[in-house]
Amino acid sequence: MQGVIKAYDPVSGDGVLLRDTDLSEIELSPEALVGSVFRMLRPGQRVVFDLDEHGQASDLRLGSEVDMGTPAWISESDE
């Protein structure tokens, strides 16, 4: 799944993201950044994520419009 960070507190590690498909708010799992390239997150940052057994966002990775396969997206190689 893919979404954007709505809020993130670097002190507590608490955060919320908005899922792209339905704009639902999903809390970050406590281990969301463990093993990822992220040290912290900023509002509006696009991420790819999985849901853990508690329905929280986990396994955060870098995301982009290309990853979503957005129909209107035209890459430089397509031009």
- Run means of pLDDT, 10 residues per run, the chain, 79 residues: 94 93 94 87 93 95 63 53
Can you say whether the dihedral through the CA atoms of 62, 52, 42, 73 is positive or negative? positive
CATH number for the domain harbouring residue 61: 2.40.50.140
Please tell me the total count of domains within the chain.
1
Is 79 part of a structural domain of the chain?
A: no
Is 71 part of a structural domain of the chain?
A: no
- The per-residue pLDDT for 66 is 58
- The per-residue pLDDT for 40 is 86
CA distance 28 to 51: 9
Is 77 part of a structural domain of the chain?
A: no
